[in-house]
């Protein structure tokens, strides 16, 4: 996280910006990062408010820039600006999902988490981070190079946040249910699957100092 030099802060005119700006201030203070404020909207009357927010942050000593943009959808706009500005982190306040619409269409926040090439911090509450628990969820069942790089990145960011906030880092991975018809005997019994997944976590545990009490291997779908 200390390698992040620019943070994209998504400002939603329909939501109070206090939550997202407070998290941005905290991380920018720790990393000395530039803050780039973004409003995803086509309406022409929002830029003055964005400039006011940027001016207030500059008075607090932050390096700030701001823009209003629109590229087909919120998540596409955010990703386009993140790429153009080379931002190493996106901070956005979560918008509660409409239960009916969620059953028909994938929520924009889900799409952002799925497709954004940089880490995304989704802010939901004002609860303090100090002395909290940081959970890094990884899929160690995939061992190709792209997944290994992603796993290391997730745990590394979790480690940095835990150090930043004085919190405790936990790591977890979900494994599939046993299948008696599986060609590999390892995946026929729950105990052997858990042992395999635990073994796959050893290098990450060693690198980031995660003991067995802070490692969680659970059965079931990752989204459950």
- Model confidence at 138: pLDDT above 70: yes
Cβ-based neighbours of 36, under 8 Å, separated by 6 or more:
6, 7, 8, 9, 64, 65, 66, 67, 81, 85, 87
- Domain definitions of the chain by residue range: 6-123, 133-219
Q: Domain 133-219 is classified in which CATH homologous superfamily?
A: HUPs (3.40.50.620)
Quick one: CATH architecture of 6-123? 3-Layer(aba) Sandwich (3.40)
Identify which has the larger pLDDT, 55 or 103: 55
**CA within 13 Å, CB half, 68:** 14
- pTM for the model stands at 0.79
pLDDT at 60 over 90: yes
Question: What's the mean pLDDT when you consider all of the chain?
Answer: 86
At residue 33, the pLDDT reads 93
Q: What pLDDT, on the 0 to 100 scale, is given for residue 78?
A: 96
Question: How far apart (Å, rounded) are the C-alpha atoms in residues 181 and 176?
Answer: 13
- pLDDT of residue 224 exceeding 50, the answer is no
Give yes or no for residue 87 having a pLDDT over 50: yes
Strands (E), the chain: 6-10, 34-40, 64-69, 89-93, 120-123, 133-137, 168-175, 215-219
Q: Is 67 helix (H, G, I), strand (E, B) or coil?
A: strand
Distance, in Å, from the CA atom of 90 to the CA atom of 35, rounded to the nearest integer, reads: 10
């Amino acid at each position: 996280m200390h390698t992040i030099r620019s943070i994209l802060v998504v400002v939603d005119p329909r939501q109070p910006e206090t939550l997202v700006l407070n998290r941005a201030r905290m991380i920018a203070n720790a990393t000395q990062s530039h803050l780039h404020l973004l409003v995803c909207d086509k309406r022409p009357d929002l830029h003055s408010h964005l400039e006011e927010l940027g001016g207030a942050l500059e008075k607090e000593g932050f390096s700030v820039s701001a823009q209003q943009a629109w590229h087909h959808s919120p998540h596409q706009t955010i990703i386009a600006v993140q790429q153009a500005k080379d931002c190493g982190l996106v901070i956005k306040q979560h918008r509660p999902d409409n239960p009916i619409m969620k059953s028909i269409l994938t929520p924009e926040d889900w799409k952002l988490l799925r497709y954004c090439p940089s880490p995304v911090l989704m802010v939901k509450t004002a609860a303090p981070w100090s002395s909290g628990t940081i959970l890094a969820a990884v899929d160690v069942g995939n061992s190709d190079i792209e997944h290994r790089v992603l796993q290391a990145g997730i745990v590394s960011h979790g480690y940095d946040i835990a150090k930043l906030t004085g919190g405790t880092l936990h790591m977890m991975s979900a494994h599939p249910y046993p299948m008696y018809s599986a060609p590999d005997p390892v995946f026929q019994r729950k105990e052997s699957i858990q042992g395999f997944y635990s073994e796959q976590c050893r290098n990450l545990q060693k690198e980031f100092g995660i003991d067995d009490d802070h490692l969680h291997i659970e059965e079931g779908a990752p989204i459950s």
